[in-house]
Chains A and B, each alone.
Chain A
Amino acid sequence: MQRAVDIRELTKGFFKENPLFVIVLGVCPSLATSGSLDTALAMGIAATFVCVGSNVFISLIRKIVPGGVRIACYIVIISTFVTITDLVLKAKFKIISDTIGIFIPLIVVNCIMLGRAEAYACKNTVANSLLDGIGMGLGYTMALLLMGTIRELSGRGSLFGNKLLPGYNPMGVMVSPPGAFLLLGLLLGIFKWLQLRKAAAK
């Protein structure tokens, strides 16, 4: 029997069900925004906000909405939160919003949001959906920050735009598209290896 508030709903998104590395959702924005740490952080916060907001709302209306139109309702709710995020970023953080470009509005079709709505929020209590949203959002943010750190450090020798490695000759390919694909492939391999090792140890 599931408890009304279960703290495990929060922590499962960090490692065991990490949306990017384990479930492999939300790949497009993760590659597009992890070229530098500040865009990665902005994308992570934006995705967390949308995920928490839509999860809570969808959980609130889960008993009212008829099954046939539920996906359409989810999309309307998610795009409302995405528009809020988009407008706030445009008003307050113009430079970051210009760098990320269309990937903020594209959160609407990010599989994480719709996936959590369909797989979790429409069946669980509001409190648990809130925790699930926070956990998934933070897990995604951490994955983005990991990729952003590796890519910016190796590709530019800097973190958050501050040069850290004097005399380091940057690997420009890491901040361009091929480096993003290679790094994600290798990170997915590492996570799979950790999972397989854990399964073998049991």
Chain B
Amino acid sequence: MNVERIVFIVIGNLFVSNFVLARFLGLCPFVGCSKRTSDAFGMGVAVTFVMAMASLLTHTIDTYILKPQAPLLVWLGGADGQLAKDGLQAVLRTLVYILTIAAFVQLVEMFLKKNVPALYRALGIYLPLITTNCTVLGVALLNTPDDPRQALTLPEAVIQGAFAGLGFTMAMLLMSGIRERIELLDLPAPMRGMPIAFVCTGLMALAFLGFTGMA
């Protein structure tokens, strides 16, 4: 495992290309769920967990089933067959990933409900929302790029998932802290709520732009 690459992935996903503030991913929960710090934290933890696990699952599926020369395709059509040569990535990747994520989130929800009711009460309401959160599908797609030269190994993909989730959590917590104070301000009526939230996000993104030089 290449330590330099790991450090690059960690710093990159936390600060330089933060999923919310630099890559524009996961904005719906970011503005929808950041009114209170406790909500923001719950959502962040749930998203981080699902992103790391989804990275693990989708990368594995990609390696063994979808990629050109994947073991399953070679077994089905031979190493020289058309199927193994083209792979199923281009045609089935989006569909397979979203179904995997949806099924995984559903399983986690059922497991928590039955076995860890305390955690389910704390995080349960956020789980169904995560299926349609674009950070999760986004990290799965970023982990398995079309260009084989940019490909990530499985541990790298899981680390990218986990730290992208932590970057999301950090942005959520910062935002919720700001919004709890904005609530007390006397703003012009049209700017209340979403509009001022986006303007604040813009200022946060401006601060995060300062990290760009580090890449």
Residues of A within 8 A of B (CB): 24-25, 27-29, 31-32, 72, 75-76, 79-80, 82-83, 86-87, 90, 102, 105-106, 108-111, 114, 173, 176-182, 184-186, 188-190, 192-193, 196
Contacts and interface: CB of A to CB of B under 8 A. Distances in A.
A107 to B, nearest CB: 9
Nearest to A173: B206
A27 B27 contact: yes
27 contacts: A24-B194, A27-B31, A28-B26, A28-B28, A31-B24, A31-B27, A72-B102, A75-B102, A80-B95, A87-B90, A105-B93, A106-B134, A106-B137, A108-B137, A109-B137, A111-B132, A173-B206, A177-B21, A177-B209, A178-B205, A182-B202, A182-B203, A185-B196, A185-B202, A186-B199, A188-B195, A189-B191
Given A28-B26, A177-B22, A109 B133 contact: yes
9 smallest beta-carbon distances between A and B, as pairs = A185-B198, A181-B202, A185-B199, A182-B202, A193-B190, A189-B195, A178-B206, A192-B190, A178-B205
B107 to A, nearest CB: 14
Nearest to B23: A32
Given A27-B28, A28-B26, A181 B205 contact: yes
A167 B196 CA distance: 33
A177 B141 contact: no
A200 to B, nearest CB: 10
B190 A79 contact: no
Contact of B195 (A75, A83, A192): A192
A86 B95 CA distance: 12
A108 to B, nearest CB: 5
B196 A28 contact: no
Contact of A108 (B21, B94, B197): B94
A28 B208 CA distance: 18
Q: Chain B: interface secondary structure?
A: helix
A82 B200 CA distance: 32
A175 to B, nearest CB: 12
A24 B27 CA distance: 11
Contacts, number: 116
A75 B99 contact: yes
Interface in B162-215: 189-191, 194-203, 205-206, 208-209
Contacts of A25: 28
B18 to A, nearest CB: 9
B98 A83 contact: no
Given A177-B22, A188-B195, A190-B190, A83 B202 contact: no
B183 to A, nearest CB: 17
Nearest to A33: B24
Nearest to B187: A189
